[in-house]
A and B are shown apart, each in its own frame.
Chain A
Amino acid sequence: MLTRKREESIIINGDVEVQVLDITDGKVKLGIKAPKSIEILRKEVYEEIKEENKNAVRTKLNMETLKNMIKK
């Protein structure tokens, strides 16, 4: 854990920089500089996709049932 004030930054792995741009109303505005190859997502979005993928493998699919459903 690190504590940063407005305008202070951290550097991760030498190539990702996260800076606190503003702190207002309980919201922290972050500026991120990273190589284009690095994907940056809000955690809740990533978690949502992860959850949906996990639901998808639990599919108990019967191809026959699905085929009949589509033909309706």
Chain B
Amino acid sequence: MKIQTKHFGEIVICDETIITFPQGLPGFEEFHNFAIIKNTDPENSFHWLQCIEDADVSFVVTNPFEVVQNYDFEIPDNLLDMLKIQNPEDVLVLSIVVIPEKIEKLSINLKAPVIINVYSRLGKQLVLDDPKYSTKYYIYDGIENK
């Protein structure tokens, strides 16, 4: 199907790649259908989670495990059920990225990872209880501190 995107204009995606978020996302509860637009540059690990119902609803996302050390959490049973997760290999975890005017202050939300079952094409943003993960993890600070 053809979809409108915020940054790439009109693009064509396969219907089977559409991910359904039955509860939308916090702040975007009425939006249920998304597509992941992958960055074609292999050196760039930032991708887009683009809403199909509204071109303006588009999130930059990235794999947090590539960016953060020791990021670890458990997916609760009720979410495993909701997303019909049966194999760990079917789970895709993405963190939503906030890119402010000052790009050095780029942050990713570790407190609320987006969990997607690539097999069932279902997704939900999981809010973690763990106080050690913040909604704003500054990836460039992390690199400087090493």
Alpha-carbon gap, A53 to B57, bound state (A):
10
User: Is B111 a contact of A49 with CB atoms below 8 Å?
Assistant: yes
User: Is A37 a contact of B96 with CB atoms below 8 Å?
Assistant: no
Which A-chain residue is minimally distant from B82 (CB atoms)? Answer: A37
Q: Is A5's CB within 8 Å of the partner chain B?
A: no
User: Is A56 a contact of B98 with CB atoms below 8 Å?
Assistant: yes
User: Is B44 a contact of A48 with CB atoms below 8 Å?
Assistant: no
Alpha-carbon gap, A32 to B78, bound state (A):
16
User: Is A57 a contact of B56 with CB atoms below 8 Å?
Assistant: yes
Q: Is A54's CB within 8 Å of the partner chain B?
A: yes
Which A-chain residue is minimally distant from B101 (CB atoms)? Answer: A60
Q: Is A13's CB within 8 Å of the partner chain B?
A: no
Contact partners of B28 in chain A: CB under 8 A:
53, 57
Q: Is A66's CB within 8 Å of the partner chain B?
A: yes
Contact partners of A37 in chain B: CB under 8 A:
78, 81-82
A17 vs chain B, min Cβ distance (A)? 17
Within 8 A of B (CB), among A14-72: 36-37, 39, 41, 45-46, 48-57, 59-61, 63, 65-67, 69-71
Say what secondary structure dominates the interface of chain A. helix
B38 vs chain A, min Cβ distance (A)? 12
Q: Is B26's CB within 8 Å of the partner chain A?
A: yes
Q: Size of chain A's interface in residues, with CB distance under 8 A?
A: 26
| Interface bin, chain B | 35 or more
Chain B interface residues toward A at CB < 8 A = 7, 25-28, 39, 41, 43-46, 56-60, 77-78, 81-82, 96-99, 101, 103-104, 106, 109, 111-112, 125, 127, 135-136
Can you list 26 A-B contacts (CB < 8 A)?
A36-B77, A36-B78, A36-B81, A37-B82, A48-B111, A49-B26, A49-B27, A50-B26, A51-B27, A52-B135, A53-B26, A56-B59, A56-B60, A57-B28, A57-B57, A57-B58, A57-B59, A59-B97, A60-B101, A61-B60, A63-B39, A66-B44, A67-B43, A67-B44, A69-B104, A70-B43
Q: Which 10 A-B pairs have the closest CB atoms?
A: A50-B27, A36-B78, A50-B26, A53-B27, A49-B26, A59-B99, A52-B135, A49-B112, A56-B96, A56-B98
